[in-house]
């Protein structure tokens, strides 16, 4: 009948099974299968009820995102939905895996829903810069009420089957592993009890209480203004739910369609869709295919229990992998352990962990004071001071102590991984695992592939990243790897620009308005001026501030002054230090003043650096650079990351402005060869 649909008849119940790997997305083949199946069952007088179930790992994961931007082939999603909803035989959706987006909307069209306890349900369209465009914004509030619908659709949060049952989204829980039988039994009961066809569209009871209460929506907008900043989809979603409350169903559906179309064409949604695929691309490495054998990682050694080592250890123990944590002395070890405990206890205080889980995690850490304790580890991650001599010394010792098949990793930020690897007898075992601070929170992990790192070690690191909940981006060796190297020009240009007139507060505001959580000066004040890029031999602006004990927030003053509550205000002292330094460097005021010019000066060099990272083969693809910037530096998702953003600006524009800045400020702005070529050939990074 159809490539993806199978129809079987169990007495009076017809079972339509759709199996369209990997995730039963609602692409054309699936829609044809549904259309055919429902028509056949409708026309078969022997069938009195229908169960809709999926094969493979999940219920429908939503519209087929790969079809976006292409002409829609018939039948459309709405055509299929109409057949189901207008039918006269009860349809039961049988849900396992994840019912997401259009998949959940399809389930809401069905008259009843049964799910296994492990199933999860949600409308994640907001993450793609969209809204549920197949009736989800009109039907979900009719089941769960306005407050819950606002929360669920603007957050894209998934419900467990039990939560969905409590909210009425699911009518009955099936036994785990017994979905088909239980759904058929449920359908038989519907027939035996002569239960009516329940159409969600007809319900009013849950939206009625919100009628004539615009304050519900006003409050919601106000409470979430910060997290919705810059995103286009949340506001359109709120408007659709307002429509669900105020308008008759059909008109609400029209409003949903208009607001969906508005998002569909938006740059924000194109960017977020790019990010969805870029995130999934990062794990694909041409010469390390998915079936490359990996090594088991059942035990991990972490060397250094400082800022990074502690967070790194937490990643593994949180995933159930025991860690031996090595420090230089007992005091450092105790300090490190107490920070880890405090972090876990804070999580427990927020209710996201039980006290027993805290103890279980702490119980997985074995403290140690000698590298000899690492003799049996599968993986050893070094996170000691950023010094080549110290790291080489440690790796030379590890070469002797560790098992010959152990993976030896360094968390170095800037040092030459190949030089570290050469200190061991087994450089093919050495890899960079570059975590971002705080290491237990940040989702980016740069996996640094040295000149001699084996494919098996690379494949193991990529797999391990997934296991500990990180997105791994593969980088070759260079100063700063991808994210830090990429973003370095922003700090450098900020410090150059501040000498030319714009104040730190003005520059920070421009960067904040672009969508970052904070500007470069707020960031450096937070981290500490003495921490990043110390350079003792040359006079620098930062050096001048440090010399006046303006180290940042920790000293109540850096580029800004801070009050007791850490609230920043522009600093007259810093302004004088900046002016003195500008004078000594011979820099005259008169730099860019407009927001657009400031942004150009700060962000175009990042695109340029990204192009260099790409042409040198440091990153595998432009999308990886976007992911590194988004996950490592909080680059706003709705711009798609620096390389996607560059495409939206237009590469010829970026090249032209870089050349202007090169003429004015020197060769640091010289466009990368790749960037110039792509601009000349009309190419895009996101192609």
Annotated catalytic sites, by residue? Answer: 105, 125
In the β-sheet with 5-10, what is the strand arrangement from edge to edge? 5-10, 13-18, 49-54, 91-95, 112-115, 172-173
Written as six digits, the tokens of 482 are 């991808």
| 3-state secondary structure labels for all residues of 568-621 | EEECHHHHHHHHHHHHHHCCCCCCCCCHHHHHHHHHHHHHHHHHHHHHCCCECC
Residue 413 binds ligand NAI (CB under 6 A): yes
Cα separation, 66 vs 549, whole angstroms: 55
d(CA 84, CA 164): 22
The stretch among 384-392, 455-463, 553-561, 618-626 that binds ligand NAI (CB under 6 A) is 384-392
Unique residue bearing structure tokens 């192009």:
611
Nearer to ligand 3HC, 61 or 244 (CB): 61
Site for ligand NAI (CB under 6 A): which residue of 208, 372, 386, 549?
A: 386
CA distance 281 to 644: 15
**DSSP tag of 195:** P
Q: Which does 132 bind (CB under 5 to 8 A by kind): ligand 3HC, ligand NAI, none?
A: ligand 3HC
Give the nearest distance from C-beta 365 to ligand NAI in angstroms: 15
Task: Give Cα separations from 204 to 34, 144, 473 (angstroms).
Answer: 29, 11, 48
- 85 contact, one of ligand NAI, ligand 3HC, none, CB 5-8 Å limit per kind: none
Cβ closer to ligand NAI: 447 or 651?
447
Using the minimum distance from each CB to ligand NAI, give the nearer residue, 385 or 567: 385
From the list ligand NAI, ligand 3HC, none, pick the one residue 560 interacts with, judged by a Cβ distance below 5 to 8 Å according to partner type.
none
Smaller CB separation from ligand NAI, 342 or 539: 342
d(CA 320, CA 683): 46
User: Which does residue 124 bind out of ligand 3HC, ligand NAI, none, counting CB within 5 to 8 angstroms by kind?
Assistant: ligand 3HC
The burial of 230, by beta-carbon neighbours within 10 Å (0-12 exposed, 13-18 middle, 19 or more buried), is given as middle
Rank residues 113 and 550 by Cβ distance to ligand 3HC and give the closer one.
Answer: 113
Under rule CB under 6 A, residue 326 binds ligand NAI: yes
Strands 5-10 and 13-18: antiparallel
- Closer to ligand NAI by CB, 328 or 573: give it: 328
Please state the closest distance from residue 25 (CB atom) to ligand 3HC, in A: 4
**Site for ligand NAI contains 64 (CB under 6 A):** no
Is 305 a residue that touches ligand NAI (CB under 6 A)? yes
Which of ligand 3HC, ligand NAI, none lies near 102, with the C-beta cut-off 5 to 8 A by kind?
A: ligand 3HC
Cis check: omega of the bond before 22, within 30 degrees of 0: yes
Residue 458 C-beta: closest distance to ligand 3HC, Å: 18
Name residues whose C-beta falls within 8 Å of residue 427's C-beta, 6 or more positions apart in sequence: 418, 421, 450, 451, 452, 453
For ligand NAI, give the closer residue by CB, 11 or 469. Answer: 469
Answer whether 445's CB lies under 8 Å from 469's CB.
Answer: no
Closest CA to 519 of 494, 488, 486, 550: 494
The verdict on 385 binding ligand NAI (CB under 6 A) reads yes
Q: Which does 412 bind (CB under 5 to 8 A by kind): ligand 3HC, ligand NAI, none?
A: ligand NAI
Q: Across 220-334, where does the E strand assignment appear?
A: 300-303, 323-326
Residue nearest to ligand NAI (CB): 306
CB of 323 to ligand NAI, least distance (A): 14
Instruction: Pick the stretch among 192-200, 238-246, 410-418, 575-583 that binds ligand NAI (CB under 6 A).
Output: 410-418
C-beta of 519: minimal distance to ligand NAI in Å? 18
Nearer to ligand 3HC, 155 or 677 (CB): 155
Considering only residues 419 to 458 of the shown chain, the ones binding ligand NAI according to CB under 6 A are 435-437
State the nearest-atom distance from the C-beta of 50 to ligand 3HC, in Å.
22
Helix (H) or strand (E) holding 433: strand 430-435
Instruction: Spell out the alpha helix ranges (H) of 63-101.
Output: 77-86
**Closer Cβ to ligand 3HC, 240 or 493, answer by number:** 240
Instruction: Report which secondary-structure segment, H or E, holds 459.
Output: helix 455-467
* Residues constituting the chain: 687
- Kindly state the smallest distance separating residue 185's Cβ from ligand NAI, in Å: 55
Q: Which residues bind ligand 3HC (CB under 6 A)?
A: 22-23, 25, 58, 61-66, 98, 100-102, 105, 124-125, 128, 130, 132-134, 136, 280
Which of the 8 DSSP states describes residue 401?
H
The radius of gyration of the chain's CA atoms, rounded to the nearest angstrom, is 28
Choose the contact partner of 426 out of ligand 3HC, ligand NAI, none; CB within 5 to 8 A by kind. none
Pairing of strands 407-410, 430-435: parallel
* φ/ψ (deg, to 5) at 99: -100, 105
CB 498 within 8 A of CB 578: yes
Figure out which of the listed residues 390, 441, 579, 589 binds ligand NAI, where binding follows CB under 6 A.
Answer: 390
What would the two tokens of residue 599 be?
A: 């942004």
Residue 98 interacts with which of ligand 3HC, ligand NAI, none, CB < 5 to 8 Å by class: ligand 3HC
Q: In what order do the strands lie in the sheet with 120-122?
A: 98-100, 120-122, 158-160
Work out whether 303 is an interface residue with ligand NAI (CB under 6 A).
yes
Structure tokens of 49? 């009820």
What residue 256 binds from ligand 3HC, ligand NAI, none (CB within 5 to 8 A, per partner kind)? none
285 binds ligand NAI (CB under 6 A): no
8 binds ligand NAI (CB under 6 A): no
Choice between 332 and 649, CB closer to ligand NAI: 332
Place of tokens 């010469």: 287
Structure tokens at 184: 């058929």
| Binding site partner of 61, from ligand 3HC, ligand NAI, none, Cβ cut-off 5-8 A by kind | ligand 3HC
Q: Which residues bind ligand NAI (CB under 6 A)?
A: 303-309, 326-328, 332, 383-386, 390, 394, 411-413, 435-437
């Amino acid at each position: 009948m159809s490539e993806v649909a199978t129809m079987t008849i169990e007495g009076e119940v017809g079972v339509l099974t759709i199996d369209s790997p990997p995730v039963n997305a609602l692409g054309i083949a699936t829609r044809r299968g549904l259309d055919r199946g429902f028509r056949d069952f409708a026309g078969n007088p022997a069938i009195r009820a229908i169960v809709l179930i999926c094969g493979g790992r999940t219920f429908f994961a939503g519209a087929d995102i790969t079809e976006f931007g292409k002409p829609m082939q018939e039948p459309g999603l709405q055509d299929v939905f109409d057949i189901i909803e207008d039918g006269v035989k009860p349809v039961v959706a049988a849900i396992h895996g994840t019912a997401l987006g259009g998949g959940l909307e399809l389930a809401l069209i069905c008259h009843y829903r049964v799910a296994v306890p492990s199933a999860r349900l949600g409308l994640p369209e907001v993450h793609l810069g969209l809204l549920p465009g197949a009736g989800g914004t009109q039907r979900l509030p009719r089941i769960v009420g306005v407050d819950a619908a606002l929360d669920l659709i603007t957050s894209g949060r998934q419900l467990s089957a039990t939560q969905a049952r409590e909210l009425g989204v699911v009518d009955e829980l099936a036994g785990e592993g017994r979905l088909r039988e239980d759904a058929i039994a449920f359908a038989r009961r519907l027939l035996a009890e002569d239960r009516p066809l329940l159409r969600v569209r007809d319900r009013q009871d849950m939206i009625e209480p919100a009628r004539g209460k615009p304050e519900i929506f006003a409050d919601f907008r106000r409470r979430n203004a910060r997290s919705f900043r810059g995103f286009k989809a949340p506001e359109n979603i709120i408007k659709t739910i307002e429509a669900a409350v105020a308008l008759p169903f059909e008109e609400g559906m029209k409003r949903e369609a208009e607001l969906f179309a508005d998002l569909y064409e938006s740059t924000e949604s194109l960017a977020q869709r790019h990010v969805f695929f870029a995130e999934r691309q990062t794990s694909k490495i041409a010469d390390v295919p998915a079936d490359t054998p990996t090594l088991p990682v059942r035990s991990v050694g972490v060397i250094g229990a400082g800022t990074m080592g502690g967070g790194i250890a937490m990643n593994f123990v949180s995933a159930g992998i025991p860690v031996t944590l090595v420090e230089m002395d007992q005091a450092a070890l105790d300090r490190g352990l107490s920070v880890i405990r405090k972090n876990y206890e804070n999580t427990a205080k927020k209710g996201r962990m039980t006290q027993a889980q805290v103890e279980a995690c702490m119980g997985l850490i074995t403290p140690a004071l000698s590298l000899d304790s690492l003799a049996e580890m599968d993986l050893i991650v070094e996170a000691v001071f950023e010094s080549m001599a110290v790291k080489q010394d440690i790796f030379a010792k590890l070469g002797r102590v560790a098992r010959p098949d152990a993976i030896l990793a360094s968390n170095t930020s800037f040092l030459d991984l190949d030089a570290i690897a050469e200190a061991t007898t087994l450089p093919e075992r050495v890899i960079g695992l570059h975590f971002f601070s705080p290491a237990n929170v940040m989702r980016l992990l740069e996996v640094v592939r040295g000149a001699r790192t084996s494919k098996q070690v690379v494949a193991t690191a990529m797999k391990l990243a997934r296991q500990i909940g990180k997105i791994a981006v593969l980088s070759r060796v260079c100063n700063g790897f991808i994210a830090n190297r990429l973003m370095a020009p922003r700090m450098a240009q900020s410090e150059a620009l501040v000498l030319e007139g714009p104040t730190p507060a003005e520059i920070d505001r421009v960067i904040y308005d672009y969508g970052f959580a904070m500007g470069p000066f707020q960031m450096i004040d937070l981290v500490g001026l003495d921490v990043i890029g110390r350079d003792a031999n040359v006079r620098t602006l930062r050096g001048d501030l440090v010399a006046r004990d303006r180290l940042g927030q920790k000293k109540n003053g850096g580029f800004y002054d801070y009050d007791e509550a850490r609230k920043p205000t522009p600093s007259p002292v810093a302004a004088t230090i900046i002016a003195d330094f500008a004078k000594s460097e011979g820099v005259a005021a008169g730099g860019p003043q407009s927001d657009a010019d400031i942004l150009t000066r700060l962000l175009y060099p990042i695109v340029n650096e990204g192009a260099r990272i790409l042409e040198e083969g440091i990153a595998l693809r432009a999308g990886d650079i976007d992911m590194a910037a988004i996950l490592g530096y909080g680059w706003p998702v709705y711009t798609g990351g620096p390389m996607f953003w560059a495409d939206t600006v237009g590469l010829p524009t970026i090249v032209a402005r870089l050349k202007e800045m090169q003429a004015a400020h020197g060769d640091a702005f010289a466009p990368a060869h790749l960037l110039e070529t792509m601009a000349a050939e009309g190419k895009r990074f996101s192609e």
